[in-house]
């Protein structure tokens, strides 16, 4: 957190107090736009409104990513005016896509969940609890110039309204440009409630976000001076483009413990379908090992000690290539601002245990494969040095035994496309011999990552792969012991899509049932959803709702509290070691304070009401493929029936 002077704390506190119209000093952080016009619905829809719950603080901001708003840092300060990273100190509601705040439909109203303050400027990024379909604003990358005409917008005070509910916009002219700021002058004034609002530049039909309202003399604002030059100081964003782009949602890895782990080891794209490259005329760099791409450790890593190690032996002077899978996604969409970056260290013969020959190690690049079959390597794009992105274009363009950064702007070719696989490719026609090197600190900035899996079991949503199907008896699946049908006439324990006969409003649900036949050991695990190419990461979570039924609410099928001894289970496949494991035996603790094992949930769930369960999967699922969602009943102590519902299953990114 940047240091803040006493004067700055006082000023930020004044902003919060002034949001609803208390009169204060003449120069304060801008809290509205007067001298402008009401913005019609659909125009500047990316302008956001922020309100701190239980306070008189209201501000403006701008959507720069479907899940991120940029605003003045005063708008997300605590009660003492201090801005810190992390969850907002004051609960804050953000509205985007509504030019009229009194409207009840359209746009998005959601909570702010995280604040990222800039280290030296009064700017903060605010992460939203939900994504919006409202198109974000484009952040300018060229500096404004004196004389430029800008559009100022905001939800703040006007000349005759204390607390307007509609967005206003008007024009102003840049009168001065300084490091980090610009000064703009009338005919539009910035007033209280406009802090964090945008200054737009319009050229050739395009609109760019140039700056944010920070402070003004408020001439023309209600209860302020009505004559004089209307002047405001705006915080520039054009030179903060890299900071914004680097802090909006991204994917990548530093390859350190706890960061995203690779999904594959020594796996080429052969058989993976369009774009995955495969392998031809490349063998292992030495006898007994295959062509390699795996997570390694070395003190010479670009950061930390973790890295990806690549190696192989080129055996043909006419056509040789090998494309290795590193990560598989399928739920990550690129945006116009998406940038791929990574560091690469091609090794020489003397620095590779004599495995690498000549400059072969330089003929390597990261590659991206999209769900439509298109690839980065064949896109015609170039990196920051003009080097083509195809691995063959990298040959002899980098010095051996040193780290090189590669940066590729992806938006012009791939905005709106969904990423399938991140790969590392070697390709060279001219030479034979070994190649070896490292890759570190891979990142793709400015992406939209949707849930890995989600269903409410309604029409059009994913439905179970299996119905009333036991999960086998071979570990890590649980099988069944001493569990019978809940009643005569059915074949066994049940798990199927049914209807909410209790009228809780859930619609379709998964209905579970069975009868425990032993007071010593009883369990039944049933398969539900088969998943494909669904990999966990350090922030992946499992969410679901469960309603265990009592005897009275279950047509007398359920006995005692048996229905509570249930939980969802996951089956993981570690593709790097080709091993299977499960969630229930991992010891992972859920949001209700008990481990996710069904027997431990007996003491956590409540009968006859929906229980929300969240499980942080990071420690157990990072780098592993989630191949199956199962359901388990497990209880050693009691006999009798159990029955209930499961709904709203989600595996978040």
Confidence band, pLDDT 50/70/90 cuts, at residue 605: very high
Specify the CATH number for the domain of residue 11: 2.40.10.120
Q: Is the pLDDT of residue 30 over 50?
A: no
Tokens of 108: 């998005």
398 and 536 assigned to the same domain: no
Name the DSSP class of 382: B
Q: Are 238 and 142 in contact (CB under 8 A)?
A: yes
% of the chain at pLDDT higher than 70 = 95
469 and 606 assigned to the same domain: yes
Q: Is the pLDDT of residue 4 over 80?
A: no
> Out of 158-167, 344-353, 510-519, 637-646, which region has the weakest mean confidence (pLDDT)?
158-167
pTM recorded for the entire structure: 0.89
Q: Quote the pLDDT of residue 34.
A: 63
Instruction: Determine, yes or no, domain membership for 335.
Output: yes
Q: Quote the pLDDT of residue 76.
A: 94
Confidence band, pLDDT 50/70/90 cuts, at residue 158: confident
> Out of 160-164, 230-234, 596-600, which region has the weakest mean confidence (pLDDT)?
160-164
Instruction: Determine, yes or no, domain membership for 496.
Output: yes
Confidence band, pLDDT 50/70/90 cuts, at residue 213: very high
Q: Is the pLDDT of residue 386 over 90?
A: yes
Q: Are 618 and 417 in contact (CB under 8 A)?
A: no
Confidence band, pLDDT 50/70/90 cuts, at residue 24: very low
Segments forming the whole domain that contains residue 279: 251-449
For residues 246 and 470, give the distance between their C-alpha atoms in angstroms, rounded to a whole number. Answer: 46
Confidence band, pLDDT 50/70/90 cuts, at residue 35: low
For the segment 292-297, the average pLDDT, to the nearest whole number, is: 98
225 and 288 assigned to the same domain: no
Listed residues 387, 416, 449: the one ending a domain: 449
273 and 232 assigned to the same domain: no
Q: Is the pLDDT of residue 623 over 70?
A: yes
How confident is the prediction for the chain on average, in pLDDT?
92
Instruction: Determine, yes or no, domain membership for 159.
Output: yes
pLDDT tens, residue by residue, 219-243: 888 877 777 888 899 999 999 999 9
430 and 537 assigned to the same domain: no
204 and 283 assigned to the same domain: no
Listed residues 191, 215, 246: the one ending a domain: 246
Confidence band, pLDDT 50/70/90 cuts, at residue 269: confident
pLDDT tens, residue by residue, 534-591: 999 999 999 999 999 999 999 999 999 999 999 999 999 999 999 999 999 999 999 9
Which ranges in 561-629 belong to alpha helices (H)?
Answer: 598-601, 618-621
Cα dihedral 487/492/498/500 (nearest 10): 40
Residues 6+ apart with CB under 8 A from 359: 346, 395, 396, 400
15 vs 386, more confident: 386
Q: Quote the pLDDT of residue 13.
A: 24
262 and 197 assigned to the same domain: no
Q: Is the pLDDT of residue 20 over 60?
A: no
Q: Quote the pLDDT of residue 22.
A: 26
Q: Is the pLDDT of residue 11 over 60?
A: no
Q: Is the pLDDT of residue 361 over 50?
A: yes
For the segment 170-190, the average pLDDT, to the nearest whole number, is: 92
Residues 6+ apart with CB under 8 A from 178: none
Instruction: Determine, yes or no, domain membership for 66.
Output: yes
pLDDT tens, residue by residue, 97-122: 999 999 999 999 999 999 999 999 99
- Most confident among 31-35, 211-215, 268-272 (mean pLDDT): 211-215
Specify the CATH number for the domain of residue 600: 2.60.120.260
301 and 219 assigned to the same domain: no
262 and 376 assigned to the same domain: yes
> Out of 203-212, 462-471, 609-618, which region has the weakest mean confidence (pLDDT)?
203-212
Instruction: Determine, yes or no, domain membership for 64.
Output: yes
Q: Quote the pLDDT of residue 161.
A: 78
Confidence band, pLDDT 50/70/90 cuts, at residue 164: confident
72 and 142 assigned to the same domain: yes
Question: 449-459 burial by CB neighbour count: b if 16+ within 10 A, else e?
Answer: beebbebbbee
For residues 88 and 129, give the distance between their C-alpha atoms in angstroms, rounded to a whole number. Answer: 12
Listed residues 449, 473, 505: the one ending a domain: 449
Q: Quote the pLDDT of residue 18.
A: 34
Query: Taking the mean position of all CA atoms in its chain, how far away is CA 514?
Result: 39
The total domain count for the chain is 3
- The CB-side HSE value for 166 (13 A sphere, CA atoms) comes to 13
Instruction: Determine, yes or no, domain membership for 550.
Output: yes
Residues 6+ apart with CB under 8 A from 419: 329, 330, 332, 333, 334, 368, 369, 370, 371, 444, 447
User: What Cα–Cα distance (Å) separates residue 376 from each residue in 64, 150, 211, 386, 588?
Assistant: 25, 37, 33, 15, 38
For residues 346 and 359, give the distance between their C-alpha atoms in angstroms, rounded to a whole number. Answer: 8
Instruction: Determine, yes or no, domain membership for 274.
Output: yes
For the segment 487-510, the average pLDDT, to the nearest whole number, is: 96
495 and 460 assigned to the same domain: yes
349 and 432 assigned to the same domain: yes
Q: Quote the pLDDT of residue 271.
A: 80
pLDDT tens, residue by residue, 404-462: 999 999 999 999 999 999 999 999 998 999 999 999 999 999 999 999 999 999 999 99
Q: Quote the pLDDT of residue 33.
A: 66
User: What Cα–Cα distance (Å) separates residue 388 from each residue in 217, 310, 379, 384, 397?
Assistant: 51, 20, 9, 10, 10
For residues 377 and 380, give the distance between their C-alpha atoms in angstroms, rounded to a whole number. Answer: 7
Instruction: Determine, yes or no, domain membership for 1.
Output: no
Closest CA to 388 of 402, 400, 377, 404: 377
């Amino acid at each position: 957190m940047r240091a803040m002077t006493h004067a700055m704390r006082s000023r930020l506190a004044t902003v919060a107090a002034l949001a609803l119209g208390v009169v204060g000093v003449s120069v304060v952080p801008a809290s509205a736009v007067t001298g402008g016009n009401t913005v019609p619905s659909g125009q500047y829809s990316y302008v956001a409104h922020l309100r701190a719950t239980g306070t008189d603080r209201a501000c403006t901001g701008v959507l720069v990513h479907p899940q991120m708003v940029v605003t003045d840092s005063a708008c997300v300060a605590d009660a003492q005016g201090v801005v810190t990273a992390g969850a907002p100190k004051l609960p804050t509601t953000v509205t985007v896509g509504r030019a009229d705040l009194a409207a009840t439909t359209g746009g998005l109203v959601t909570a702010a969940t995280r604040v990222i303050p800039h280290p030296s400027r009064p700017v903060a990024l605010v992460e939203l609890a939900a994504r919006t379909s409202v198109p974000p604003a484009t952040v300018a990358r060229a500096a404004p110039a004196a004389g430029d005409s800008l559009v100022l917008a905001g939800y703040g005070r006007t000349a005759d309204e204390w607390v307007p509910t509609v967005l206003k916009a008007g024009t102003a002219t840049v009168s001065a440009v300084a490091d980090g700021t610009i000064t703009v002058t009338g005919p539009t004034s910035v007033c209280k409630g406009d802090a964090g609002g945008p200054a737009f530049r319009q050229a050739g039909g395009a609109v760019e976000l140039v700056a944010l309202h920070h402070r003004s003399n408020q001439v023309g604002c209600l209860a302020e001076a009505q004559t004089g030059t209307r002047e405001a100081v705006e915080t520039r964003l054009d030179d903060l483009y890299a900071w914004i782009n680097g802090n909006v949602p991204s994917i990548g890895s530093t390859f350190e413990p706890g960061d995203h782990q690779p999904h594959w080891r020594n796996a080429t794209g052969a058989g993976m379908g369009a774009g995955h490259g495969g392998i031809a005329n490349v063998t292992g760099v030495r006898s007994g090992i295959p062509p390699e791409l795996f997570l390694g450790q070395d003190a010479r890593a670009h950061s930390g000690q973790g890295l990806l190690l690549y190696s192989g032996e080129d055996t043909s002077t006419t056509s040789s290539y090998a494309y290795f899978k590193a990560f598989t996604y399928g739920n990550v969409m690129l945006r116009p601002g998406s940038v791929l970056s990574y560091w690469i260290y091609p090794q020489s013969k003397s620095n590779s245990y004599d495995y690498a020959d000549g400059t072969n190690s330089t003929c390597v690049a990261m590659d991206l494969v999209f769900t439509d079959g298109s690839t980065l390597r064949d896109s015609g794009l170039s990196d920051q040095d003009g080097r083509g992105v195809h691995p063959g274009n990298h040959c002899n363009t980098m010095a051996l035994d040193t780290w090189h950064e590669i940066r590729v702007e992806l938006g012009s070719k791939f905005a709106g496309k969904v990423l399938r696989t991140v790969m590392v490719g070697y390709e060279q026609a001219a030479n034979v011999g070994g190649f070896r090197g490292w890759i570190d600190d891979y990142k793709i900035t400015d992406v939209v990552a949707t849930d890995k899996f989600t269903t409410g079991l309604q029409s059009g949503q994913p439905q179970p792969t299996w119905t009333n199907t036991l999960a086998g008896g071979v570990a890590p699946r649980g099988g069944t012991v001493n569990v019978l049908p809940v009643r005569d006439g059915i074949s066994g324990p049940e798990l199927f899509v049914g209807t909410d006969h209790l009228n809780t409003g859930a619609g379709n649900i998964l209905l579970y049932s069975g009868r425990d036949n032993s007071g010593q050991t009883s369990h039944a695990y049933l398969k539900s959803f088969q998943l494909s190419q669904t990999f966990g990461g350090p922030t992946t979570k499992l969410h679901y709702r469960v309603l265990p039924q009592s005897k009275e609410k279950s047509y007398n099928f359920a006995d005692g509290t048996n229905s509570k001894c249930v939980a969802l289970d996951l089956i993981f496949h570690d593709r790097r070691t080709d091993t299977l494991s499960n969630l229930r035996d991992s010891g992972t603790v859920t949001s209700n304070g008990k481990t996710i094992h069904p027997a431990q949930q007996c003491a956590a769930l409540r009968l006859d009401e929906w229980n929300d369960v969240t499980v942080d999967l990071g420690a157990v699922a990072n780098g592993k493929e989630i191949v199956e969602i199962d359901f388990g009943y497990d209880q050693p102590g009691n006999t009798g029936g159990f029955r209930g519902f499961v709904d709203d299953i989600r595996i978040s990114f």
